[in-house]
Amino acid sequence: MDGNGRWAQKRDLPRTEGHAAGEEALFDTVEGALELGIRWLTVYAFSTENWKRPPDEVRYLMHFNQNILRRRVEELDAKGVRVRFSGRRDWRVPRRLLRLQDETVERTRRNRTLTLTVAFNYGGRAEIVDAVRRLAKDGVVPARIDERAIASRLYHPDAPDPDLVIRTSGEFRVSNFLLWELAYSELVFTDVLWPDFRREHLAEAVREFQRRDRRFGGVDG
Ligand code: FPP
């Protein structure tokens, strides 16, 4: 959900106002995903690198996330959205936020219309490191280490690899998002800053995806 800071700066507002405006973009996108029949949606809410931001902004984001979960879980639940979180639960994440995340997961865990995964304190490399740590802990011998052994130790092994990854705000980078999972994903880049992103942009990205020719390393046939 990139471009919040720039959206705010363009309006002479503090960066945090850009994050606040990102909430509507997120919920409109969720609505669009429901309309399109998308079953899995993952949003990047806070990366393992975002701790480098000014402390005030980090504090704001922690509170903002708690605030959203408190205010909007009922609505998500009513829409049949299963909410999950992906990332490290380390000491830097406020306890209260972790507790709210757990409550949100518990409350929505029977829903199946859409699984909304919130990548929070998430890094693609950290996820692979954590999977490898689990391999070692499980005592898997080198000969038994294959893609399946790693994939089954990622944060959410039941989630399908993403078909489509959308990067907003005119950046052409993957920025440590789902590194393992996006090996064959189609990437769509848009100049739209996250607070301006709406369901129409999601639909447009899906249309772009439908025009792509996916070969997964093979040939057409
Ligand atoms: C990146 O924009 C955006 C973020 C770090 C936070 C986005 C979070 C939300 C919209 C809320 C998510 C909450 C839940 C519970 C799902 P940026 O600051 O990097 O923008 P810039 O590149 O223009 O500086």
Residue 220's pLDDT is: 79
Residues at CB less than 6 angstroms from ligand 1: 1-6, 19, 22-23, 26, 43, 45-46, 50, 61, 65, 68-69, 118, 169
pLDDT digits (tens, 9 = 90+) for 64-117: 999 999 999 999 999 999 999 999 999 999 999 999 999 999 999 999 999 999
**Residue 209's CB: how many other CB atoms inside 10 A?**
17
CA 149 / ligand 1 centre spacing (Å): 32
- Alpha carbon of 15 to those of 2, 4, 54: distances in Å? 12, 7, 11
Would you please indicate which residues are annotated as catalytic (active-site) residues?
Answer: 2, 50
For 40-79, write each residue's pLDDT tens digit.
999 999 999 999 999 999 999 999 999 999 999 999 999 9
Per the CB < 8 A criterion, the answer to whether 21 and 7 are in contact is: yes
- Over range 151-176, report the average pLDDT: 98
The closest residue, in CA terms, to atom 22 on ligand 1 is 3
pLDDT tier, 221 (very low <50, low <70, confident <90, very high otherwise): low
Measure 216 CA to ligand 1 centroid, in angstroms: 31
Could you tell me which residues are beta bridge partners of residue 13?
Answer: none
Please report where in the chains the tokens 């995806």 appear, as a residue: 209
Residue-wise pLDDT tens digits, 117-127: 999 999 999 99
pTM score, whole prediction: 0.96
Q: What is the pLDDT of residue 125?
A: 98
Atom of ligand 1 nearest to the CA of 72: 15
